[in-house]
Amino acid sequence: MNDEINTECVIEARGLTKVFRDFWGRPKVLAVNGINLDVRRGEIFGLLGPNGSGKSTTIKMILGLLHPSSGQLSVLGQSPRTVSVKSRMGFMPEESYLYKYLTADEILNFYANLYGMSGPHKTERVNTLIEQMGLSKARDRRVGEFSKGMARRIGLAQALLNDPDLILLDEPTSGLDPIGCREVKDLLLALARQGKTILICSHHLSDMQDICSRVAILLQGEVCATGSVQELLATPDTLKLTLRAPSQTTLTAVLDLLERETGTRPQVDHTGRTLESVYIETVSQRKSAP
């Protein structure tokens, strides 16, 4: 049963193409060139690629903001231009496109109204998200006065207002500090565990590696590589062995043995912590100190 659910395609694209045309209808830019994409329910799918590779164009087509020039695109089993399908979707754009003169509270209430939410359910949802995003103290401040990181948090909150089945995120960790980044990644993993499908565009490859189950790499509008992160990262004939440091004699003997077996001398490194883990540990300790 679980397998059936997991293989259900939430986004299905076949030969998806987008050509931008000039005023006279002549082709100007081929932004997306016949891509095939299957995003399954409950997975975090990453769309990687350099600037201008067609990632944002693809997301906009999935949202129905751009119309494909050719090809088939189905989102949650419907055309992306169907208005009702958007009640099951949440979107956070690359830039924080927010009404700068509204407060955090007003902006979330406005978007909640657009989802048709009302009464205690709306209030509860807005309050929960404001708290979850760590914006309780700033809820009555205008969004125009927010730092980039705070604006990104509001952007993420509005994308989650309707408890969507499909979440589209364009650079979700951009502008966030490392702790915020970690919180967002943990939140996305928790959402995926609840069965939400998440499609992310990002340049932060380490973040994508941390959370994505599958990725597609786009280049000049075409999918160059696709597959699970484990598949793409695996090098079948190479192993990494981590162990408590033995004595020098034992180490030399083991290395000699392995060199005779494989024909190459194994490389020995001391395992180190990442700068991210040191940062998070230091800041957390300072914050929790009395």
Partner 1 sequence: MSKASARQFLALTGLAATELFRQPASFLLILSSNACTILTPLALSFQLGQETHLALDSSLAFEFMFGIILAGYAACATLHNECQSGTILIVFSKPVSRLMFFLAKYLAIALLILFFVFCSGAASLLAGRLSPRNFEFDALGLRLLLAIPLVAIIPAALINYFTRRSFIVYALMGFTLALVATVTALGMMNGEGHRVAFGSLIDWRILPACALEGIALLILAAIALTLASRLTTPTTIAILAVVLFSGLISDHLITLLPSSETLRFGVRMILPDIQAFWPADRLAGGESLSVSVIAHAAAYGVAYACGILCLGYAAFRNRQF
Cα–Cα distance measured from residue 169 to residue 181, given in angstroms and rounded to the nearest whole number: 14
CB 41 to partner 1: min, Å: 20
DSSP 257-282: HHHHHHSSPPP-------HHHHHHHH
Cα end-to-end span (Å), the chain: 50
Residue pointed to by tokens 């364009």:
170
Residue 30 forms beta bridges with which residues?
19
When the beta carbons of 88 and 229 are compared against partner 1, the nearer one is 88
Q: Which is nearer to partner 1, 85 or 217 (CB)?
A: 85
Torsion of CA 184, 188, 193, 194, to 10 degrees: 100
State in angstroms the smallest separation of the CB of 103 from partner 1. Answer: 11
| C-alpha to C-alpha distances, 153 to 7, 96, 109, 122, 148, nearest whole angstrom | 31, 9, 15, 18, 9
Residues that bind partner 1 (CB under 8 A): 60, 63-67, 83-87, 89-91, 93, 95, 97-99, 101-102, 110-111, 113-116, 118, 158, 168
CA distances from 142 to 111, 124, 137, 174 (A): 16, 21, 12, 21
Phi, psi dihedrals of residue 34, rounded to the nearest 5°: 60, 45
Nearest distance from residue 166's CB to partner 1, in Å?
11
| Cβ 160 vs Cβ 129: under 8 Å | yes
Q: Which is nearer to partner 1, 168 or 181 (CB)?
A: 168
The DSSP line for 12-69 is EEEEEEEEEE-TTS-EEEEEEEEEEEEEETT-EEEEE--TTSSHHHHHHHHTTSS--S
Minimum CB distance to partner 1, residue 38 (Å): 22
Side-chain half-sphere CA neighbours of 286 within 13 A: 6
Q: How far is the CB of 198 from partner 1 (least distance, A)?
A: 15
Give the nearest distance from C-beta 116 to partner 1 in angstroms: 3
CB nearer partner 1, residue 102 or residue 219: 102
> Considering the complex, what minimum distance in angstroms separates the CB of residue 113 from partner 1?
4
Kindly tell me which of 19 and 229 has the beta carbon lying closer to partner 1.
19
Which of 98, 217 has the CB closer to partner 1?
A: 98
Instruction: Name which of 118 and 250 has its Cβ closer to partner 1.
Output: 118
